[in-house]
Amino acid sequence: MSSPSSPAESAAAVATADGPRDFIRQIVREDLAAGKHVAIHTRFPPEPNGYLHIGHAKAICLSFGIAREFNGWCNLRLDDTNPGKEDPEFVQGIKDDVRWLGYDWHNLRHASDYFDVFYRAALKLIGDGLAYVDDLSAEEMRAYRGTLTEPGRNSPHRGRSIEENLDLFRRMRAGEFADGSRTLRAKIDMAAGNINLRDPALYRIRKVTHQNTGDAWPIYPMYDFAHALSDAMEGITHSLCTLEFEDHRPLYDWCVDKVDLPSHPELWQSVVAAGLEAKPAKPRQIEFSRLNLSYCITSKRKLAQLVNEGFVDGWDDPRMNTLRGLRRRGFTAAGIRLLIERVGVSKQNSVIDYAIFENCVREDLDATAPRRMAVLDPLKLVITNLPEGHAETLVFANHPKDEGFGTREVPFARELWIEREDFAEVPPKGWKRLVPGGEVRLRGVGIVKCDKVLKDADGNVAGLHCTLDPESRAGLPGADRKVKGTIHWVSAAHAVAAEVRLYDRLFNVPAPDAEADGRPWTAHINPDAKRVVQGWIEPAAAQAEPEQRCQFERLGYFVADRVDHRVDAPVFNRVVTLRDTWAAKA
């Protein structure tokens, strides 16, 4: 009998399985094969100062995805070291969005869970002669820092004794000093080629109430210090982040090494006392390139500006490329994961064409969305050779390629709505749809011939009178008779009025924030990104649950709005058209 495999063995087994094989996964595979870790542990560390966007999806899929593929763990850690800008609303939003994308965390942590650890670690560094309290103002500090070509200068306070530093730092913590009047700095090297190592700040004074710790702390740790130690606290093995942190890696390693949490349990007794899992270790930071998508903004500051200045209706506006905006728009989590998989992981910076994203979503929806019929710009078509009051129930397949979707009943009657653009009095070349005197197939019904065009007082087309070829009805021998076009329809008496929101890309240029033409990025907002029409949908479509998606045949993929849709007052959002309509414009 074989004994159950150890976590390391099972992780190594997964490591050989099929799946993405980028450079990060290769490192993980090698580390596991070398027995470096019993299991791998990653984390996703967003700052709760906004909602997550499509760029974050890459970081989420990578860190949570790798943990899953290699039988490891991934923590969700809220990097809440910046009180004032952060909000519990965003914390909840981040949790919802990570779950919606299809992931769950091993531990939910906040950087603020470790405030006591950071403070003790800072005291340790001071005691080891590796940190000092500086009185320089922010401006003076900048002047002392030097430039890329010139070394910095030592602060006049750099030579303070350990005792004086300990006393001053304790008094900073006690709230004795004003905001900005003092900083705790790492004592590394003011002449270092890497500016991040020129005595970076570790702590600043900020008398701001914190969403978790209230007024307990008048000082807050800086990102690099808090992030490195949080990773170490949680036993993170592979700390995956974007390329802009590459230059911070030496500082990250410095913090991890100099504090040395694994050897100093006295620094993290508060975490143990709080009952939180603590398994300090030495993490390794690995950087990868950000996801940049054309026609998108992925700066939280700018996304917030869109909301705050009323360019959109909120963080979940379907035009926003926040995860909740994409969700409300009807994009699927599977479609987003497919994009991330296709884009892959590397250190190469690039911009991904938004059309690739749309295609991933189309691919997912083609397989998963049932078909329905809807008419968005209605024109009345009367079948004059059916008796007044004629009504039948037709049975339609819900999916052309998958019988598993079953069938539905579609009411058919003498008066129908068809799409206005499916009729042309003077057809352009190559026209396949209805013309005066011409024939077209009504989807699932048979062939109709246009006998008469009705006009209103202004001479606009107001309706069509047609005859249905009875021999061409579905199931009869004449049903195979060839005509050029097939159009969709709904029964006028049975269709349900629906509000249909036709969304498109929020920006009308591929790189809205390049500001290359001297115009602000907000000047590139596409005024046609939202158009609301009143349409007619078949009864089965109205029955959708909020967030249920379908294809309205020939029109695109749509979703029942997750906030506003009701069965008796349907509201649908267009997710994406059936084909790329932007390629020709570009």
Which two three-digit tokens encode residue 275? 């009952």
Rounded distance, CA 196 to CA 202, Å?
12
Q: Does 298 bind ligand ATP (CB under 6 A)?
A: yes
Backbone angles phi, psi at 362, to 5 degrees: -60, -40
Among 291, 312, 361, 445, binds ligand ATP (CB under 6 A): 291
CA distance 175 to 557: 57
CB nearer to ligand ATP: pick between 47 and 363: 47
CA distance 379 to 462: 7
CB atoms within 10 A of CB 525: 16
Binder to ligand ATP among 59, 259, 361, 383 (CB under 6 A)? 59
Among residues 111 and 126, whose Cβ is nearest to ligand ATP? 111
Residue (290 or 380) nearer to ligand ATP, CB: 290
Amino acid (one-letter) located at 302: K
Catalytic residue (one of 47, 246, 363, 547)? 47
- Minimum CB distance to ligand ATP, residue 99 (Å): 16
Least CB distance from residue 290 to ligand ATP, whole Å? Answer: 4
By CB under 6 A, is residue 242 in contact with ligand ATP? yes
Catalytic residue list contains 47: yes
Q: 341: left (phi > 0), else alpha (psi -120 to 50), else beta? A: alpha
* DSSP string computed for 25-45: HHHHHHHHHTT--SS-EEEE-
**47 annotated binding-site participant:** yes
**Is 55 an interacting residue with respect to ligand ATP (CB under 6 A)?**
yes
How many other CB atoms are there within 10 angstroms of residue 429's CB atom?
4
- Coil/strand/helix, residue 270: helix
Q: Which is nearer to ligand ATP, 62 or 544 (CB)?
A: 62
| 511 assigned binding-site residue | no
d(CA 564, CA 549): 14
Residue 45 binds ligand ATP, judged by CB under 6 A:
yes
Structure tokens at 72: 């490891």
The one segment of 290-298, 328-336, 388-396, 577-585 that binds ligand ATP by CB under 6 A: 290-298
The span from the CA of 586 to the CA of 584, in Å, is 6
Residue 109 backbone dihedrals phi, psi, to 5 degrees: -130, 160
The answer to whether 512 contacts ligand ATP (rule: CB under 6 A) is no
* Catalytic residue flag (residue 530): no
Q: Choose the stretch contacting ligand ATP; rule: CB under 6 A; options: 228-236, 293-301, 325-333, 403-411.
A: 293-301
> 134 a known binding residue?
no
Q: How far apart are CA 184 and CA 528, in angstroms?
A: 51
CB of 346 to ligand ATP, least distance (A): 12
Instruction: Decide whether 322 or 359 has the Cβ nearer to ligand ATP.
Output: 322
290 binds ligand ATP, rule: CB under 6 A: yes
Tokens of 69: 């593929």
Minimum CB separation of residue 110 from ligand ATP in Å reads: 13
Q: How far is the CB of 58 from ligand ATP (least distance, A)?
A: 4
Q: Which listed range, 41-49, 255-263, 418-426, 503-511, lies at the site for ligand ATP (CB under 6 A)? A: 41-49
Residue 562: strand, helix, or coil: coil
As to burial, measured by CB atoms within 10 angstroms (0-12 exposed, 13-18 middle, 19+ buried), residue 406 is exposed
**Catalytic one among 290, 302, 449, 554?**
290
Amino acid at 477: P
> Does 300 interact with ligand ATP (rule: CB under 6 A)?
yes
The distance of Cα 232 from the centroid of its chain, to the nearest Å, equals 28
Nearer to ligand ATP, 348 or 460 (CB): 348
The closest alpha carbon to 234, from 320, 115, 108, belongs to 108
CB of 227 to ligand ATP, least distance (A): 9
What are the beta bridge partners of residue 183?
134, 204
Query: Quick one: which of 299, 346, 384, 534 contacts ligand ATP (CB under 6 A)?
Result: 299
Give residue number: closest CB to ligand ATP. 55
Q: At what angle are helices 333-343 and 54-69 packed, to 10 degrees?
A: 80
87 is in an annotated binding site: no
Residue 47 interacting with ligand ATP (CB under 6 A): yes
Report d(CA 441, CA 485) in Å as an integer: 6
> Catalytic residue among 300, 327, 371, 414, which?
300
C-alpha torsion angle, residues 32, 35, 37, 38 (rounded to 10) = 100
CB 222 within 8 A of CB 200: yes
Scan residues 423-452 and list those touching ligand ATP (CB under 6 A): none
- Catalytic residue positions, numbered: 47, 290, 300
Which residues line the annotated binding site for L-glutamine? 79, 223
Residues that bind ligand ATP (CB under 6 A): 45-47, 55-56, 58-59, 241-242, 290-291, 298-300
Q: Which residues are annotated as a binding site?
A: 47-49, 53-59, 79, 223, 242, 290-291
Q: Which residues are annotated as a binding site for ATP?
A: 47-49, 53-59, 242, 290-291
